Structure formats: C-alpha cells, structure tokens
C-alpha cells in the first residue's frame, strides 16, 4: 500500500547548495508530476513526465531539473538552491490516458524544503 513515496520529507539547505528529491510509485503509472505549493498560490506544476526517459516543463520550471530513468521513479533536482525555492513539494502520478482511469492524480505526502 505504499502508493507514492517522497524522500526526504524535510530538508534545510543553504543558498547555493544542491539537492535531489526522489519520488517513487508502485502503481505502474505512466505519468508523474512534480508540484510546488506555496501559501495562497495553490499547487503549481514544475515538471512532468509521460513515460520513462521523457520529461517536460510545467508552469514554473526555472531552477529545477528532473529525470525519469526508471518508470517508477521521478527525480527533482535543485542545482543551486535559492530562498525562493522554499516550498512544499508534492509528487504525483497517474495512469496514462485510458477510459475509466482518467487523470486522477495520486499524491505523495509532500516534502518541505527550506532554503536559508
């Protein structure tokens, strides 16, 4: 019953440091997403992937990179962290386009990142 698992759950970085958030799903989902949640802003899409080896930019991609080397994993990287990247990050996954399983996103528990 793991579903979508994010690691780490909490992290504090200094400006300029790098880090990677790992998202793993065990539901054999094709699509995976990274969102960030900021107060009063809702959830905004950073990057997404429609399958192993493919990634695409979302609404707020600057300052982030992603990789999907394995179908079950989706990594979000910050090469040089900035205070503006202080946020709660959510990973999500969903089935590919198939009738009856349309677009419901399954979310991880979130990762709280603070950049000092």
Partner 1 sequence: AQKVTQAQTEISVVEKEDVTLDCVYETRDTTYYLFWYKQPPSGELVFLIRRNSFDEQNEISGRYSWNFQKSTSSFNFTITASQVVDSAVYFCALSEASAGGGADGLTFGKGTHLIIQP
Contacts to partner 1 by CB under 8 A: 31, 33, 35, 40-45, 48, 50, 56, 58, 88, 90, 92, 94, 96-97, 102-107, 109-110
Between 75 and 91, whose beta carbon lies closer to partner 1? 91
CA distance 116 to 103: 36
Q: In whole angstroms, how close is the CB of 80 to partner 1 at the nearest point?
A: 26
CA distance 86 to 66: 18
**92 and 107 in contact (C-beta within 8 Å)?**
yes
Residues in the chain: 116
Q: In whole angstroms, how close is the CB of 21 to partner 1 at the nearest point?
A: 15
């Amino acid at each position: 019953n793991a579903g979508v698992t994010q690691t780490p759950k909490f992290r504090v970085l200094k400006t300029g440091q790098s880090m990677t958030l790992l998202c793993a799903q065990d539901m054999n989902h094709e699509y995976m997403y990274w969102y960030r949640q900021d107060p009063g802003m809702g959830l905004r899409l950073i990057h997404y992937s429609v399958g192993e080896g493919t990634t695409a930019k979302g609404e707020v991609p600057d300052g982030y990179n992603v990789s999907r080397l394995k179908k079950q994993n989706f990594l979000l990287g910050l090469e040089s962290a900035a205070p503006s990247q202080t946020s709660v990050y959510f990973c999500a996954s969903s089935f590919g386009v198939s009738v009856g399983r349309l677009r419901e996103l399954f979310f991880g528990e979130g990762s709280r990142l603070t950049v000092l």
